């Protein structure tokens, strides 16, 4: 018998027609690779899902019930779902750090109002409108404002009128932690919004939040599940280092559970540069939120959602809209020169179009230097990292599918047709065929170089092992066109 059967015994004697199936050649083209997403953030005690429990999320309403109305994690998931309703999303909640402190701020009013109008407050980028009547006093406006804030249960803060100054509204973050310091407080964002006549409002920025939860709880809960995108609410050094280390381990050849993390950071250009310079990981993208009214954790969720929704790992993300994010005020937006500096310091950037829509400019990783300290752009762009992960996944799938239970022999062995025998030459031909499929999908270029440099050989000491050197030229992205117009008169 020359054909290698998997299920039909070679010594069967009972009469009959026995036919088995072999799917090793059934699939054509490149396989779809699952892209699961993980979102990590804080819960409130009002949620019905405990911390550290991976929970698949299908809707914003489910997220709110699971993690509590007004919680960081519910807001992140609502923003993610609004930007990307198709990705498979799992959430892992963290509890507030017991030793932490909640951020606090305030708004002080002056009055009375000299005409009726509407007060437009923005709390973490979410508008809260308060009706103002003629002759309304500052104290009355403070009472109405606190009531309006508390009625909006999805907000990340609560409010109360100050016990000593009835014109002052004290605002407190629902969560303990540093993230609360980034909750923006302001009046009037949209064009045409003004304070009602006679009314004044003075804001004290949120501050005093300390003690982020330890992301190690969520990392442990990830177990052996692969998450291609991990959205992280935090940008402190300890938590970023922890997720970088976990994803670096998962990227390794003995684990191969590739994933990429998204976080975001608010603040000044100098603060962003400082944070970017302190990181150096191909597995983390830090996005500059600048002085946007929208909190950094929402920026992280939306950026992760938009990247996860892109089906082509190599296609540049530039110009993709980031739904739901409020752009910084015109005076607060980074210039091209400032954004270019950020891109040299490991910080991904966005732009704002004429309609005030925030769009991706360039999603880069924080990787900037090799292990020897030399400048290194090999893992600069997220498209490169995503493409490499896809190439490895499809190569693994191809070898596993084509040679699931094969024997291994040297090239030139005269085995009969139909035998389940692999040789270095056969495997090399399969990899070359796979390259053509990668090339057709616009993921690689340079077939002749690949063919010349590809090495597939039997291991010198382990007769059951094939070693391969696989040298794809990963396709690049069109980002810059430079031209010189040399005119004549």
pLDDT digits (tens, 9 = 90+) for 352-372: 999 999 999 999 999 999 999
Question: Percent of the chain having pLDDT more than 70?
Answer: 100
Residue 6 lies in a domain: no
Provide the pLDDT for residue 258.
96
437's tokens: 């499929």
Which residues contact residue 302 at a Cβ distance below 8 angstroms, ignoring those fewer than 6 apart?
79, 80, 83, 322, 323, 324, 325
pLDDT of 25 higher than 90 = no
d(CA 313, CA 301): 19
Average of per-residue pLDDT across 274-296: 97
Residue 251 sits in the same domain as residue 120 = no
Q: How many CB atoms lie within 10 A of CB 165?
A: 14
* CA trace torsion 109, 111, 117, 119 (10° rounding): 0
Residue 45 sits in the same domain as residue 109 = no
Average of per-residue pLDDT across 128-152: 98
Question: What is each CA distance from 337 to 327, 340, 418, 482, in whole angstroms?
Answer: 18, 5, 64, 17
35 and 201 Cβ atoms separated by less than 8 Å: no
Residue 352 sits in the same domain as residue 228 = yes
pLDDT of 33 higher than 90 = no
DSSP, collapsed to helix, strand or coil, labels residue 304 as helix
Provide the pLDDT for residue 27.
72
Which has the closest alpha carbon to 101: 203, 179, 185?
179
Residue 219 sits in the same domain as residue 332 = yes
Residue 90 φ/ψ region, left for φ over 0, alpha for ψ in the -120 to 50 degree band, beta for the rest: beta
- Could you tell me the pLDDT band of residue 1, with boundaries at 50, 70 and 90? low
Residue 424 lies in a domain: yes
Residue 15 lies in a domain: no
Residue 271 lies in a domain: yes
- Dump pLDDT digits (tens) for 431-448: 999 999 999 999 999 999
Provide the pLDDT for residue 361.
98
- Could you tell me the pLDDT band of residue 477, with boundaries at 50, 70 and 90? very high
The structure tokens 């509890």 sit at: 95
Q: Considering only residues 172 and 18, tell me which one the structure prediction assigns the higher pLDDT.
A: 172
d(CA 261, CA 274): 19
Provide the pLDDT for residue 191.
92
Q: Considering only residues 15 and 119, tell me which one the structure prediction assigns the higher pLDDT.
A: 119
| Domain finish residue from 149, 181, 207 | 207
Residue 226 sits in the same domain as residue 345 = yes
User: Looking at residue 191, which CATH number applies to its domain?
Assistant: 3.90.1160.10
Provide the pLDDT for residue 156.
98
Domain that holds residue 200: 102-207
94 and 128 Cβ atoms separated by less than 8 Å: no
411 and 423 Cβ atoms separated by less than 8 Å: yes
Residue 75 sits in the same domain as residue 224 = yes
Q: Are strands 55-57 and 284-290 parallel, antiparallel or unpaired?
A: unpaired
Residue 142 sits in the same domain as residue 232 = no
299 and 72 Cβ atoms separated by less than 8 Å: no
- Could you tell me the pLDDT band of residue 20, with boundaries at 50, 70 and 90? confident
DSSP, collapsed to helix, strand or coil, labels residue 221 as helix
Residue 343 sits in the same domain as residue 234 = yes
d(CA 394, CA 440): 14
Residue 241 sits in the same domain as residue 358 = yes
- What's the count of helices (H) and strands (E) in the chain, helices before strands? 11, 21
Q: How many CB atoms lie within 10 A of CB 119?
A: 25
Q: How many CB atoms lie within 10 A of CB 147?
A: 14
- Could you tell me the pLDDT band of residue 16, with boundaries at 50, 70 and 90? confident
366's tokens: 């924080």
d(CA 179, CA 211): 9
360's tokens: 């991706």
pLDDT of 69 higher than 80 = yes
Average pLDDT in the chain: 96
| Domain finish residue from 207, 242, 274 | 207
Residue 13 lies in a domain: no
Residue 309 sits in the same domain as residue 251 = yes
pLDDT of 301 higher than 60 = yes
Average of per-residue pLDDT across 381-405: 96
Provide the pLDDT for residue 15.
84
The structure tokens 């980034």 sit at: 182
58's tokens: 């299908």
Residue 460 lies in a domain: yes
Provide the pLDDT for residue 248.
98
d(CA 41, CA 96): 10
Q: How many domains does one find in the chain? A: 3
| Domain finish residue from 157, 190, 207 | 207
Give the count of alpha carbons within 13 A of 221, CB side only. Answer: 20
Residue 90 sits in the same domain as residue 125 = no
Residue 432 lies in a domain: yes
290 and 267 Cβ atoms separated by less than 8 Å: yes
pLDDT of 428 higher than 90 = yes
DSSP, collapsed to helix, strand or coil, labels residue 408 as strand
Residue 9 lies in a domain: no
- Could you tell me the pLDDT band of residue 32, with boundaries at 50, 70 and 90? confident
Residue 151 sits in the same domain as residue 298 = no
């Amino acid at each position: 018998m020359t054909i290698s059967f998997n299920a039909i015994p070679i010594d069967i004697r009972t009469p009959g027609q026995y036919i088995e199936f072999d799917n090793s050649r059934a699939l054509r083209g490149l396989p779809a690779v699952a892209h699961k997403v993980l979102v990590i953030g804080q819960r409130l005690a009002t949620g019905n899902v405990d911390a550290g429990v991976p929970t698949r999320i299908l809707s914003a309403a489910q997220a709110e019930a699971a993690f509590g109305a007004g919680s960081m994690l519910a807001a992140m998931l609502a923003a993610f779902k609004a930007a990307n309703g198709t990705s498979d999303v799992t959430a892992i909640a963290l509890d507030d750090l017991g030793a932490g402190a909640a951020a606090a701020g305030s708004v002080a009013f002056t009055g009375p109002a000299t005409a009726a109008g509407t007060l437009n407050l923005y709390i973490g980028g979410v508008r809260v409108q308060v009706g103002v009547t003629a002759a309304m006093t500052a104290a009355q406006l403070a009472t109405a404002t606190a009531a309006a804030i508390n009625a909006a249960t999805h907000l990340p803060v609560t409010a109360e009128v100050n016990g000593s100054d009835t014109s002052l509204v004290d605002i407190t973050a629902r969560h303990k932690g540093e993230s609360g310091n980034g909750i923006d407080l302001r009046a009037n964002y949209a064009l045409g919004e003004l304070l009602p006549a006679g009314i004044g409002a003075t804001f004290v920025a949120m501050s005093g939040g300390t003690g982020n939860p330890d992301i190690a709880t969520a990392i442990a809960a990830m177990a052996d599940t692969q998450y291609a995108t991990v959205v992280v609410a935090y940008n402190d050094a300890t938590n970023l280092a922890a997720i970088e280390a976990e994803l670096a381990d998962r990227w390794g050849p003995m684990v191969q559970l590739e994933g990429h993390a998204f976080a975001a950071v608010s603040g000044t250009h100098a603060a962003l540069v400082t944070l970017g310079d302190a990181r150096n990981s191909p597995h983390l993208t830090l996005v500059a939120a600048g002085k946007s009214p929208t909190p950094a954790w929402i920026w992280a969720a939306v950026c992760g959602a938009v990247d996860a929704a892109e089906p082509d790992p190599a296609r540049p993300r530039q110009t993709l809209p980031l739904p739901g994010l409020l752009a910084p005020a015109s005076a607060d937006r980074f210039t091209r020169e400032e954004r270019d500096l950020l891109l040299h310091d490991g910080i991904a950037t966005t732009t704002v179009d004429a309609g005030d829509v925030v769009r991706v400019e360039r999603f880069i990783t924080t990787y900037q230097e090799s292990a020897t300290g030399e400048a290194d752009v090999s893992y600069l762009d997220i498209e490169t990292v995503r493409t490499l992960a896809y190439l490895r996944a499809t190569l693994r799938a191809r070898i596993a599918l084509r040679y699931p239970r094969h024997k291994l022999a040297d090239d030139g062995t005269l085995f009969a047709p139909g035998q389940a025998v692999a040789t270095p030459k056969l495997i090399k031909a399969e990899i070359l065929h796979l390259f053509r499929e990668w090339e057709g999908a616009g993921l690689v270029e340079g077939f002749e170089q690949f063919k010349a440099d590809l090495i597939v050989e039997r291991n010198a000491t382990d007769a059951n092992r094939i070693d391969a050197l696989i040298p794809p030229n990963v396709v690049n992205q069109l980002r810059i066109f430079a031209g010189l117009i040399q005119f004549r008169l």
